[in-house]
Amino acid sequence: MAYAGEADRPAREARIVADSGLTTIAIRFPAINRFYGAVESRDTKGVLYSAVGINGAQFQHYNLFDGGVAGGSAMMMKPAMVIISLGTNEAFGAVTPSQLKTEMGKTVLAIREYAPGAQFIFTTPPSGMMKMGRVAYRPKGSKRAKYRNKFMAVPQAAVLRQAIIDFCREEGHAYWDLFGEMRADNRFSRAWSNDHVHFNAYGYRLQGGLLGEAILNGYQQWQQTIRKN
């Protein structure tokens, strides 16, 4: 799915029908300056998972062009469930809780314009770290000093975590508290990449597994409630 980058132009779509033998494909979009991802579709039953991401994105970026970025994605995919994992970049960008909640509301409206029945799950941002400088140390038996990076928690991450939770409670959306999970699970101590902002491969697998378990547990609890009623 590509977007023209102008408010009065709709999202553009290219549909490719391919057999199982296709391994590579090249597509050109003349005069298109933004590309947000490709979506797989098939006729067989089951969960169809798609992901749309922009490096360094915040909610406000998905709300560009009068919600055309988020709305365009919904128009293409018609999702039944939307999982939104944002907040880290807002924490580094000093976004306030009220600003965040306003942009979250805009995103929900933009998606529901094309997918009115979509249900939302928001995740809180991880308890990321920010680099504060370098600290000298001397390894045992060495005469030379070495240096290692010093990190501290991003204060705004905890603030925006609460803003996301408050928004979900006020608007009736589900949320998964990754920030809280990380504090309670020692496995996340080895989940960071070197910058302490992004996860390493182990960390992303851990995050995905825990989120999947949370969704499954919620579904099973809902089924039990239905049976009792």
* Angle, alpha carbons 151-156-158 (nearest 5°): 95
Residues of the chain below pLDDT 70: 1-16, 18-20, 27, 29-38, 129-138, 147-152
Give tens-digit pLDDT for 42-51: 777 888 887 7
pLDDT digits (tens, 9 = 90+) for 13-25: 666 676 667 777 7
Q: Looking at 70-110, which runs of residues are DSSP E strands? A: 81-85
**What pLDDT score does 220 carry?**
92
Q: Please answer whether residues 73 and 52 qualify as being in contact, where contact means their C-beta atoms are separated by less than 8 angstroms.
A: yes
Q: Are 104 and 63 in contact (CB under 8 A)?
A: no
Q: Which helix (H) or strand (E) holds 35?
A: strand 34-35
**Amino acid 4: pLDDT:** 45
Rounded-to-integer distance, Cα 155 and Cα 91, Å: 8
pLDDT score recorded for residue 197: 83
Q: Positive or negative, the Cα torsion across 109, 115, 121, 126?
A: negative
CB atoms within 10 A of CB 191: 19
Phi, psi of 159 (to 5 degrees): -65, -45
What pTM value is reported for the model?
A: 0.78
CA distance 21 to 146: 53
